Chains A and B, each alone.
Chain A
Amino acid sequence: MRNAWIICRKELGSYFVSPVAYLLLTMFGLIFGFFFWNALAYFVVEGMEMQMRGQTLPMNLNEDIIRPLLSNVGVVGLFFIPMITMRLFAEEKRTGTIELLATSPIRDLEIIVGKWLAAMVLYGCLLLFTALNFAFLFKYGNPDWKPLAVGYLGLLLQAGALLAIGTFISTLTKNQIIAGAATFGVCLLLWVLGWVSGYERATWARVLSYMSVITHFESFDRGVIDSKDAVFYITVIFVGLFFTARSLESLRWRS
């Protein structure tokens, strides 16, 4: 796996040498910062009102701030994931550098895992921004860290699945825009699929809603590691990377 690490380092290099990484980090930081500020302000106002009314219902940082925010991170992530993955293979195909990788003594799988890992690291950097905000809660309040950690694990798994899908789509075209748009479409579809469960209980609806990447996040969001949901994400990661490998192979046969 040394080779995968070499590829990963190179990908991270191109993310952070070009403005891509900084742009994504800035945008994500701004958007999430606004969410955080909103949630916190609401929490504070609510708390004051309660005190004035003399109610002493226990307020919970985990339930009222961290949980909704984490699920927001997942949704915002949907929009950022295409921007992370779209260049992974499309760019190599366009500039012809794929020939260098394909004629080097490394396996296709190492190339794929390396690139996916780099995408994961960049997404991890985005998550670090959210951690900065949450750090304030720990400084001034006393939330439970365990549900937060589980939430982060869920976010990483969810992103891993979507990034694997994005990596696959990136092998299909030479054009970054097409790769990005297609990935965005698929991500969005996988998000809204869960909505059918709201009005329909038939088997097809349950299957559709099972395929949604968001429904599987709910357990993590509650701070529970449900093996069923973890297995779903891990399966999608494997399937996505498997398809990437097949696509890369077929690229050579078609060329």
Chain B
Amino acid sequence: MITVKELTKRYARTTAVDQISFEVAKGQIVGFLGPNGAGKTTTMRMLTCFLPPSAGTAKVAGFDVLDQPLEVKKRIGYLPETPPIYPEMETAEYLKFVGKLKGLKGQELQKRIDYVCDRCAVADVKKKLLGKLSKGYRQRVGLAQAIIHNPEVLILDEPTAGLDPKQINETRDLIKGLSGSHTIILSTHILPEVEQTCEQVIIINNGKLVATDSVRNLQARARGAESVLVEIAVRDGSLDLPIVQHKLEQVSGVSRVLCKQQVDSRAQFEVESEKGRLVRGDLARTVVQCGWDLNELRPAAMSLEEIFLKLTKNESVETEKTTTEESQP
């Protein structure tokens, strides 16, 4: 649905987006992730034909953003960072105006207005001035505006920014509900949002693509091998760390055991296993057979937060390394 090839945006002195390439399939929800100033908004603006790219191509539904912007715009619903509302208009009036701009008319327009008001929960403020609405309502009117013409592609720039937790959940559910019939790209720097709503993640940092993958693969990739967290306690009070470690290492499939912390008679281990082998059952059996208590046993999945930090920091860590190496004689 969306094909981006080596998309680049240069300003006078800076390169905001640097040769980004990715693809989004029809009906997918993609999270566009990156720290502030990473180039998320610039990329989205290029996809919506607001900014022309300096180099590279972007195609939406087969139409190039430079060659056929009108065709692209017809198929895109866009919610910028600040909802583009006119404070002196009423909600219904505004949606009518946007609907007309997008080419709707007559009965169909009225139907769509009623539908999006209902969908985005703004029906109760239809007759209110937009300037008088709260931030949450404005955001939802912005979303209503984006979906009014039932676009194939939805591009949402930080759709949950500034909402309260309840509204955030509602907005997420709304976005999830819209997927399937719409292809959605949403940008955010809030990680749980991506974990909860998106199927695929595109991470960019400093204008460069850092990673693009499904949420699950990304977690697996950052983790490398499967790893499990085990907490063991010994009742009689003497926990012999080397013995426990040795026993755990002997479980078939385990490749490495790391003691993470030890407090009195309790110890926590991170157990890494070879890829594709499930060792949790064997681990539990071994612990119980040795007469220890098994306090905790859970997969040590890395949260996206950690992956994100790992990926976006990678570069700086590497450069740091080289500089320290260089400084040493």
Contact = CB atoms under 8 A, between A and B. Distances in A.
Interface of A: 3, 6, 10, 13-14, 17-18, 95-107, 252-253, 255
Given A6-B97, A14-B88, 4 more contacts: A13-B89, A95-B84, A99-B84, A100-B78
A53 B85 CA distance: 68
A6 B101 contact: yes
Contacts of A99: 45, 50, 78, 80, 84
A6 B74 CA distance: 16
Interface of B: 45, 48-52, 70-71, 73-74, 76, 78, 80-82, 84-89, 93, 97-98, 100-103, 145
Contacts of B78: 99-100, 103
B49 to A, nearest CB: 6
Nearest to B70: A105
A172 to B, nearest CB: 18
Contacts of B88: 13-14, 17-18
Contacts of A101: 101
A103 to B, nearest CB: 4
Interface residue SS majority, chain B: loop
Contact of A105 (B73, B81, B93): B73
A6 B100 contact: yes
Contacts of B93: 13
Nearest to A255: B51
Contacts of A102: 49-50
Contacts of B52: 252-253
B102 A100 contact: no
A18 B89 CA distance: 10
A96 B45 CA distance: 13
A128 B135 CA distance: 41
A233 B298 CA distance: 79
B257 to A, nearest CB: 54
Q: 7 closest A-B pairs (Cβ-Cβ)?
A: A100-B84, A105-B73, A104-B101, A97-B84, A105-B74, A103-B48, A99-B80
Nearest to B74: A105
22 contacts: A6-B101, A10-B97, A13-B88, A14-B86, A14-B89, A17-B89, A95-B87, A96-B81, A97-B86, A99-B78, A100-B78, A101-B101, A103-B49, A103-B73, A104-B73, A104-B102, A105-B70, A105-B73, A105-B103, A106-B101, A252-B50, A255-B50
A98 B45 CA distance: 12
Contact of A96 (B51, B70, B82, B100): B82
A104 B145 CA distance: 11
A106 B49 CA distance: 12
